[in-house]
Amino acid sequence: MKIRPVFLNNKKTIFIAGPCSAETEEQVVNTARALSKYNIDLFRAGIWKPRTRPNSFEGVGSIGLTWLSRVQKQFNLKVAIEVAKSEHVAAALEHKIDAIWIGARTCASPFAVQEIASSLRGVDIPVLVKNPINPDIGLWIGAIERLAKAGVKRVCAIHRGFSCVNDNIYRNNPLWELPLNLKKEIPSVQIICDNSHICGNRTLLNDVARKAISLGFTGLMTEVHQDPDNAWSDAKQQITPDNFGLMQQEVKNLNVTELDFLEQFRTEIDEIDVNLLSLLNNRMNLVKKIGIETKEDNTILKQKRNNEIISTMLKTNKNLELNEQFIHSFFEFIYKESIYV
């Protein structure tokens, strides 16, 4: 697949920053003014917002395009918006928006992606493709392919994490191996990490930023607002322009020369450990519930149940490669811990 880079100058980290949503002209202009000090590559603002539930703020619509034109002229910044259908694309092109992105919910729908791709035939505008909300790398690749087939030349990927079923410290689980696999499949693709939507809150933002850059990502997309606590969408995860400056400095101080494979493996192991912990926590919660329901204190029954579990796990292991003694010890260990919950 032939795609050209969206961002030139591979040596430096790319920064895309701006509010989750354009709310008022004043908010957009003030945030852009503050960010213009930090040498960002692209100013982002959503004007049509795909919200999970109705009655949330769904964006200001086309009026926001004129505010972004002002940002382009007044601060000499390039601007990007999210598009979800062909009318959005037409409006973006009419207002000379510099780049567009396809959101996570839209990426999960091949019809919607195809509609956007078809409306871009013969147009040379960079398109940034967020990963779909579900961990299906095929949909992500498929969206990039649809754009490439329609003749869109400059395409890149945005990693914003994947919906979590279990409790997780992240709003969207990063599953780092997925963007790394995307890079293996399409080596020419640049990947930007949207640390805001991965984290869902400010506290982990810098850690995720450092992680992405040390894994060789091209840059970051971060939500920045002049007054984050009062933002009309995604208030918990947005940061002030000054805190953006601090994050940028931290990332710039990292010394990353090339993709570190050892770091990649460690990342995958860390991720598995986090998932293991969260699964164990869920298991313990269920054990507690059984304890409350039955108030059962029958050691013989419990031992029988534990033997059943071990024997099922040994059978399951026929398709896996774990040591049988390890399986015994591991489940005995969990069993003992469960007795005391």
Binding site for ligand PEP (CB under 6 A): 20, 46, 50, 103-105, 130, 160, 194, 197
Tell me how far, at minimum, the Cβ of 82 lies from Mn ion, in Å: 9
Tell me how far, at minimum, the Cβ of 5 lies from ligand PEP, in Å: 21
Residue 131 burial (CB < 10 Å; 0-12/13-18/19+)?
Answer: buried
DSSP 138-153: HHHHHHHHHHHHTT--
Residue 234 interacts with Mn ion (CB under 5 A): yes or no? yes
Please say whether the beta carbons of 203 and 241 come within 8 A: no
Q: What is the largest CA-CA distance in the chain?
A: 77
Give the separation between CA 29 and CA 224, rounded to whole angstroms: 12
Positive or negative: CA dihedral 124, 130, 133, 138: positive
130 binds, among Mn ion, ligand PEP, none (CB under 5 to 8 A by kind): ligand PEP
156 binds, among ligand PEP, Mn ion, none (CB under 5 to 8 A by kind): none
Give the separation between CA 73 and CA 263, rounded to whole angstroms: 42
DSSP strand pairing (172-173 vs 191-193): unpaired
Tell me how far, at minimum, the Cβ of 174 lies from ligand PEP, in Å: 13
Q: Between 41 and 234, whose beta carbon lies closer to Mn ion?
A: 234
Tell me how far, at minimum, the Cβ of 154 lies from ligand PEP, in Å: 19
> Contact with Mn ion (CB under 5 A): which of 3, 20, 84, 92?
20
Question: Per-residue x/- marks for Mn ion, 58-97, CB under 5 A?
Answer: ----------------------------------------
103 binds, among Mn ion, ligand PEP, none (CB under 5 to 8 A by kind): ligand PEP
Q: Between 160 and 225, whose beta carbon lies closer to ligand PEP?
A: 160
Residue 77 burial (CB < 10 Å; 0-12/13-18/19+)?
Answer: buried
Count of chain residues binding Mn ion (CB under 5 A): 2
Task: Output the residue with the shortest Cβ distance to ligand PEP.
Answer: 103
Tell me how far, at minimum, the Cβ of 223 lies from Mn ion, in Å: 6
211 binds, among Mn ion, ligand PEP, none (CB under 5 to 8 A by kind): none
- What type of residue sits at position 207? D
Task: Output the residue with the shortest Cβ distance to Mn ion.
Answer: 20
Residue with tokens 């392919």: 145
Q: Between 160 and 183, whose beta carbon lies closer to ligand PEP?
A: 160
Please say whether the beta carbons of 49 and 233 come within 8 A: yes
3-class secondary-structure state, position 297: coil
Give the separation between CA 207 and CA 154, rounded to whole angstroms: 29
160 binds, among Mn ion, ligand PEP, none (CB under 5 to 8 A by kind): ligand PEP
Interface residue list for Mn ion (CB under 5 A)? 20, 234
